[in-house]
Structure 1
Amino acid sequence: MKDQLLNLVLPILMMLDCSEGKVFRVSKMDCRTLDPAFTYFKTCKVVRRENGRSALFINEVFLYKDPIDEIILNLGIFKVVKNRRFQFLNETLDYCLFSRQFLANGFFAFLMTPLMRNSNVNATCPLQQSIVFNGFPVDENTIKEVPIPNGVYMFQMRASMMKKWRTDVKVYATRVDMYSE
């Protein structure tokens, strides 16, 4: 019942409060390894730039040396209101299947297209190298088309590799109309 109501209300909220040019102001990022024997984060930081813009730096090192071909990604978007989080989106996909039909998947395509441009990750399976996002910019030109209203959000990306959850990355950001000048 709750999911059905969310599916009805969410598109209406998006249409009412979604205008072109809205941007995200990132406040913090948290990268957590769920299996330290498999992978760890060498770098996980937000670098603030001018007028509220920022860049995300992530360097995930794989200790597992064989090619990884079973990758499941889970994206959750939560709206944060006071001390509560309301789940806005929960989408899971098989990365190897997604990489073959890259733009066929709705919301993940919004997020993954700019991420792939700013990383060393190839768009094919299996993964064989560590993952590096070397200054993924969060500004007017990235992920602005994500259709959600103003407010505080938590983006959570979890990765399962070889049938076990290995990483959990959370980015906290505020959706605003424009950066301060």
Structure 2
Amino acid sequence: MKDRLLSLVLRILIILDWSEGKVFKVTKMECRTLDPSFTYFRSCKVVHRENGRAALYINEVFLYKDPIDDIILNLGIFKIARNRRFQFLNETLDYCLFSRQFLASGFFGFLMTPLLRISNVNGSCPLQQNIIINGFPVNEDTIKEIPIPNGVYMFNLRTSMKKKWRTDVKVYATRVDNYSK
């Protein structure tokens, strides 16, 4: 039922307000550790490039030294309008199941493939190393296929490891027709 409703809403949005080439301008990013005894962020920044393009840099250090084989990712997308947040999407992915079968669907399918290409994460489980995302590009070639209308959005990625929420990363972006030339 939920999948059908999401599919219907996305189709309506595509019909009403979708045009090829829409892009995201990232305004800021916040990384928060929910359990400092487990992990912390050495760096979390947005580097703004020419004409509104950006790159995301994250370096997450794990204090927990054993292999981690219980990883749940939760992606929430919120449209921000008039100082209010409206949840646009709430999708959860079992990362270890994904790494064995590569079954990313929906919005995770749009995000995981380019993210795995630019990070040091090898796409397998258990996870045994720190996570380094060294310049995830936000430009015409990445995540433009996400079918949402123009506006201001917050992408919220929460990570649960060992059955406890450990991190919360928020990326604020504005969906526009094109980058300023």
Q: For the superposition of Structure 1 and Structure 2, which TM-score range results when normalised by the shorter chain?
A: over 0.9
Q: For the residues of structure 1 that align with 2:173 and 2:29, how far apart are their CA atoms? A: 9
Structure 1 residues 133-172: aligned runs within 5 Å: 133-172=133-172
Contact residue 72 and residue 93 of structure 2 kept, 8 A: yes
Match of 1:64 in 2: 64
The residue type equivalent to 1:138 in the other structure is V
Give the fraction of aligned pairs with identical amino acids, expressed as a percent: 79
1:76-106 CA-to-partner distances (Å, cap 9, x unmatched) read 0000001100000000111000112224522
Secondary structure, in 3 states, of the residue corresponding to 1:88? strand
SS state at 2:13 partner: helix
SS at match of 1:152: strand
Scaled by the length of structure 1, the TM-score of the pair is: 0.94
Map 1:1-181 → 2, pairs under 5 A: 8-181=8-181
What's the CA shift for 1:11?
2.7
Q: Say if 1:3 and 1:67 are closer, same or farther in 2 by CA, change over 3 A.
A: closer
TM-score, normalising length: structure 2:
0.94
Q: CA RMSD in A?
A: 1.9
Residue 7 of structure 1 deviates from its aligned partner by 6.2
Segments of 5+ residues of structure 1 without an aligned counterpart are none
How many residues were matched structurally? 181
Secondary structure of 1:66's match? Answer: coil
Task: Tell whether the 8 Å contact from 2:10 to 2:148 is kept in structure 1 after alignment.
Answer: no
Question: Quick one: distance in 2 between partners of 1:134 and 1:104?
Answer: 22
Amino acid at match of 1:32: R
For structure 2, list consecutive stretches of 5 or more residues without a partner in the other structure. Answer: none
Tell me which stretches of 4 or more aligned residues in structure 1 moved more than 6 Å.
2-7
Distance 2:6 2:146 in 1: 17
